[in-house]
Amino acid sequence: MPRRPNHHSAEAASTPNSSPASEPATQPILPPAPDVPTALLGNLSPSQFMRRYWQKKPLLIRQAIPNIVPPLSRDELFELADQEEVEARLITHFRNKWQLEHGPFAPDELPSAKQRGWTLLVQGVDLHDDRARALLDRFRFVPDARLDDLMISYASDTGGVGAHFDSYDVFLLQVKGKRRWRISAQKDLTLQAGLPLKVLQNFEPEQEWVLEPGDMLYLPPHIAHDGIAEGECMTCSIGFRAPSESELTAQFLYHLAERGEAAGKTGALYRDPRQSAVERPAELPAALVERVGAILARVRWNEQDIASFLGTYLSEPKPSVVFDPPQRPLNEARFIAAASKQGLRLDRKTNLLYERRFFFVNGEEIAWGGAKKWLFDLANHRSMSAKRFVTLSHDSPVTALLHEWYCAGWIQVGELA
């Protein structure tokens, strides 16, 4: 399914969950342990899956999640697509013509569900709904630094987005209705010209399946695929970040320059006291090229610079993300008392990563200090039990830090139940 350029019981009837601080969030389902076989991966363990399939070859998994229901109902998804802060796209294929529109979409701007040949794509649903976040968390056997988001596709009968390929890994999980997938490992990835979306010019399918609710298809990068709805259907796309080398290089050099860690940290201005008068003022001076080359040759970095860059860059929320601070925040003493009874959880929009010397939260780098024993659990489980909080609540610098995050809307009182 096309996603944001790089950088995925009975049907739920409640509105998107924005649990108040005093209530527990959606029941967590932890990702499988690395060496434990799981139905999610066709009874392979995550270690076996990563070794045999990850970035290597496709895998069809029947009943990866039996009895699955969509994280959001159709009406809830349509309501979400009407919000300004949500990235939504409408793709239609009427009268053999592809068209693409960007949201938000008012309810009367979407075609009728009875009309064939259209698809609504809603990106980053995990940022807006706890149920979608809980589904995304099942895939945390892949590092958070690579996990991107959960996109939900709603399609009417025959709806799809055309044969295409992605530059990242993706799990395509059917959650409602049926979708026919055709895939190919073809080398010809030429796109049709003049279209508003990327559709392959010469798609030659090699394998074909119909996926029903609970079935899932894993595709590594650059596998051509085409999914067509057979009746009304919904598909969850779990995608992964795959920044390009040029993006990483540019962002890393910017990171160094921003910290004053390039070119000797002097901040000295360019000087050319021996520059002579010229007859050809438009010509680039050879001395200028030589001098700037010498400056760039002095740029140095080490492994910690790289780790700091990756931690801050990969934990930085997407530009559209806005946190919701509590309307009436508890003071620090009341916050500690509440967390001691109810525990803590990360807000679904919060990114918390760490390495051996620093942790990184929503693009900020903080030295471990005395916080290591706290934040390993909070980062890996995205919650902290009340019992665990009580045993650590004497550490006032860390409780002050957590209270600061709470006031910013980065964490919430109440553990995942």
* Contact status, residue 251 vs residue 190, Cβ threshold 8 Å: no
- What pLDDT score was predicted for residue 264? 52
Residues of the chain with CATH 2.60.120.650: 39-240
| Encoded tokens for 394 | 């004497």
Q: Would the pLDDT of 257 be above 90?
A: no
Look at residue 281 and give its three-state secondary structure. Answer: coil
CATH topology classification for 332-413: Malonyl-Coenzyme A Acyl Carrier Protein; domain 2 (3.40.366)
Is residue 292 very low, low, confident or very high in pLDDT (cuts 50, 70, 90)?
confident
Phi, psi of 134 (to 5 degrees): -65, -40
CATH topology classification for 39-240: Jelly Rolls (2.60.120)
* Contact status, residue 63 vs residue 215, Cβ threshold 8 Å: yes
* Contact status, residue 68 vs residue 214, Cβ threshold 8 Å: yes
Is residue 141 very low, low, confident or very high in pLDDT (cuts 50, 70, 90)?
very high
How would you label 126-145 residue by residue, b for 16+ Cβ within 10 Å and e otherwise? bbbbbbbbbbbbbbbbbebb
Look at residue 156 and give its three-state secondary structure. Answer: coil
Is residue 21 very low, low, confident or very high in pLDDT (cuts 50, 70, 90)?
very low
Residues sharing a CB contact under 8 Å with residue 64, sequence separation 6 or more, in sequence order = 39, 40, 41, 42, 173, 214, 215, 216
DSSP 88: E
Averaged pLDDT score across all residues of the chain: 89
pLDDT in tens, 324-340: 999 999 999 999 999 99
pLDDT in tens, 173-198: 999 999 999 999 999 999 999 999 99
Enclosing H/E stretch for 100: strand 97-102
Q: Which pTM value belongs to this model?
A: 0.87
* Number of residues written out for the chain: 417
Q: Would the pLDDT of 206 be above 90?
A: yes
Is residue 267 very low, low, confident or very high in pLDDT (cuts 50, 70, 90)?
low
**What is the C-alpha radius of gyration for the chain, rounded to an integer number of angstroms?**
25
Residues of the chain with CATH 3.40.366.30: 332-413
pLDDT in tens, 219-233: 999 999 999 999 999
